[in-house]
Structure 1
Amino acid sequence: MPTPIDVVLPCLDEAAALPGVLTALPPGYRAIVVDNGSRDGSPEVAARHGARVVREPRRGYGAAVHTGLEHAETELVCVLDADGSFDPGELPALVAPVASGAADLAVGRRRPVSAGVWPWHARAGTALVAALLRQRGVPLRDLSPIRVARRDALLALGVTDRAFGYPLELMIRAAAAGWRIHERDVRYAPRAAGTRSKVSGSVRGTVRATRDFLAVLRSVDGPR
């Protein structure tokens, strides 16, 4: 029987996507769906499909992820978007380098499966932030919301951002702590029908997220 691994899925109105995501989790991967104020019945859908559901009333991606980490019980923890854009079957390949001790943090680098999956404004915002990260010595080409690390180590980093800047602060703090970061290509597909990205779904969302990222870059010290 495989060693269990908890998968934190921050969730805001993802009822249409959750059945496909949760049923595609590999054996031994246990879903923790962190509901962030859904109005479409997401918590009930998640529970019907075997997920552990916790609620985080403070709005924000970082708030949901942090709460999920606090509720996780396994040594290794994955974070995965609940919108169906990533294949949960890719998780074991990201887990492998962390489980073996070859890496401290494994992250996905998005590879769109078709044109239009990753809008130009979202891609441009990510490219800008990734370039600024590389200037600080963080070897990444993407800031993808699919990643794997050890739970206790993640919490010990002391990430404070509770909005869209959470993953960026995480990367800066991990690099400053000397973590070995492994980036691996992952397929990036269209979101499930009936859902919409809070970031890449609009220029406004991308601008808001990029603003959060730049604020983190100004406020958090990291390797240079």
Structure 2
Amino acid sequence: MPCLNEAETLAICIDKAQAYLSDAGIVGEVVIADNGSTDGSQQIALDHGARVVPVAAKGYGNALMGGIVGARGTYVIMGDADDSYDFSTLDPFVARLRAGDELVMGNRFRGGIEPGAMPPLHKYLGNPVLSTIGRMLFRSEIRDFHCGLRGFNRESILSLGLITTGMEFASEIVVKSTLDGLRVSEVPTTLSRDGRSRPPHLRSWHDGWRHLRFLLLFNPRWLFLIPGSVAFAVGLLATVALVFGPLEIGRVGLDVSSQVYLAALTVVGYQAVLFALLTKLYARHEGFHLPRSQAFERFAERASLESGAVVGLTLFMAGLGVAIVQLATWGASGFGPQDPVDTMRLAVPAALFMMLGFQTAMSGMFLGILSVDIRRA
């Protein structure tokens, strides 16, 4: 149980957990991962037969990892120390763990939420939306990503290399367990009103954003690759199309001024695509567990400093070639006045291809840095 000033409810939680272990005939311990309590929670835990593991680094994720590392059992069941979860009814979790599941999640929406136990913002927006995004991005079957009551095989979870320090730790466990191919299941559990008189540590919008940010950054395809690809394709096609003259889409007319903005859209989209690919290549190089596909693996095998330099130089030279032709044409006319519209119609895509080429070459340089072999301790 993570603990930060839970003196009001800690004894109740510990007593329920101790009674469950005794009644079920399970050899186990109650571990309190104390995150710097100043209300005497540590002594309460000791008085009720629990073992206290001090965790100096602040944060929900830090507290839980400290407790998991300090635990001595094969299996760990974690839950909040605010009496919102009933530690006397853990049979479904133990049964699934004994059946070989490596992560067993509680589902409060299936088990029941007591009136007033969960704010409407969390019940009808936060949890459903974030859980849906998690299922969509990572092909997970879990429908309650943020249930605070869950059980797992200790060694399996430690092998995931969990790194987040705050409330998003709850999402990280589910995501990395799914990506690593662990056996994950879900059982109904109930959520009661917590027994504290003070407000909870959870900050709705702040912690919700941290969960969402983690989900999106851990799968750059939806945040960068897909939007970037759309922006790049639309911008590039429209920029090139305007080389041949104005365009009309319904009542909207597009010309060189639109071409400038479309070229900027192309650059922004291309940068987003490059960022997504470089993020995944870096994660692949460092051994992180991110979603991958056969197409990405084929790309990763071919991506290198040399290939980036070749593609980048080709794009740059294409733009430079157009610029040289324009310069030669201008010189042939004696460097006199030019039609600004006709000049821009070719100058914009020329500059665009030179920028894309330079971006590609610089990305290739970054890949070259990644490919340097180093000795790791």
Structure 2 partner of 1:108: 106
Structure 2 partner of 1:12: 4
Question: Per-residue displacement from partner, 1:36-61 (whole Å, max 9, x unpaired)?
Answer: 12121111111111110011121111
The structural deviation recorded for 1:223 is 4.6
Structure 2 partner of 1:6: none
Structure 1 partner of 2:134: 133
The structural deviation recorded for 1:214 is 1.4
The structural deviation recorded for 1:122 is 1.9
Fraction of identical pairs, as percent: 28
Whether contact under 8 Å (1:76, 1:150) holds in the other structure is yes
Given the superposition, is the C-alpha separation of residues 155 and 18 from structure 1 closer, same or farther in structure 2, using an over 3 Å criterion? same
Distance 1:95 1:162 in 2: 27
Distance 2:198 2:183 in 1: 34
Distance 1:97 1:191 in 2: 26
Distance 1:81 1:89 in 2: 14
Question: Per-residue displacement from partner, 1:157-187 (whole Å, max 9, x unpaired)?
Answer: 0111011111101111100111221111111
Structure 1 partner of 2:191: 188
Given the superposition, is the C-alpha separation of residues 112 and 14 from structure 1 closer, same or farther in structure 2, using an over 3 Å criterion? farther
| Greater RCO, 1 or 2 (C-alpha within 8 Å, sep 6+) | 1
Structure 1 partner of 2:118: 118
Whether contact under 8 Å (2:135, 2:141) holds in the other structure is yes
SS for the counterpart of 1:24 is: helix
Distance 1:179 1:216 in 2: 20
Distance 2:52 2:61 in 1: 17
Stretches of structure 2 lacking an aligned partner (at least 5 in a row) = 220-289, 293-377
Question: Per-residue displacement from partner, 1:89-132 (whole Å, max 9, x unpaired)?
Answer: 2223112111121x221010114443221111222211111000
SS for the counterpart of 1:188 is: coil
SS for the counterpart of 1:148 is: strand
Given the superposition, is the C-alpha separation of residues 62 and 31 from structure 1 closer, same or farther in structure 2, using an over 3 Å criterion? same
SS for the counterpart of 2:177 is: helix
Calculate the aligned-residue CA RMSD, in Å.
Answer: 1.5
Structure 2 partner of 1:213: 211
Structure label with greater radius of gyration: 2
Distance 1:133 1:175 in 2: 10
Normalising by structure 2, report the TM-score: 0.54
SS for the counterpart of 2:90 is: helix
- 1:167-182 equivalent positions in 2, closer than 5 A: 167-182=170-185
Structure 2 partner of 1:148: 151
Stretches of structure 1 lacking an aligned partner (at least 5 in a row) = 1-8, 200-204
The one-letter code of the counterpart of 2:122 is A
Given the superposition, is the C-alpha separation of residues 39 and 172 from structure 1 closer, same or farther in structure 2, using an over 3 Å criterion? same
Distance 1:98 1:112 in 2: 22
Distance 1:84 1:121 in 2: 21
Given the superposition, is the C-alpha separation of residues 114 and 146 from structure 1 closer, same or farther in structure 2, using an over 3 Å criterion? closer
List structure 1 segments (4+ residues) > 6 angstroms apart after TM superposition.
none
The structural deviation recorded for 1:196 is 3.2
Given the superposition, is the C-alpha separation of residues 185 and 195 from structure 1 closer, same or farther in structure 2, using an over 3 Å criterion? farther
Whether contact under 8 Å (1:105, 1:147) holds in the other structure is yes
The one-letter code of the counterpart of 2:97 is V
Structure 1 partner of 2:372: none
Structure 2 partner of 1:23: 15
Distance 2:10 2:152 in 1: 23
Higher strand share: 1
SS for the counterpart of 1:183 is: strand
Greater shift in the superposed pair: 73-82 or 112-121 = 112-121
Q: How many residues align?
A: 210
Whether contact under 8 Å (1:138, 1:223) holds in the other structure is no
Higher helix share: 2
Structure 2 partner of 1:53: 52
Whether contact under 8 Å (1:83, 1:195) holds in the other structure is no
Whether contact under 8 Å (1:32, 1:68) holds in the other structure is yes
Distance 1:105 1:223 in 2: 19
Distance 2:168 2:139 in 1: 18
Distance 2:140 2:67 in 1: 25
Structure 2 partner of 1:4: none
SS for the counterpart of 1:34 is: strand
The one-letter code of the counterpart of 1:98 is L
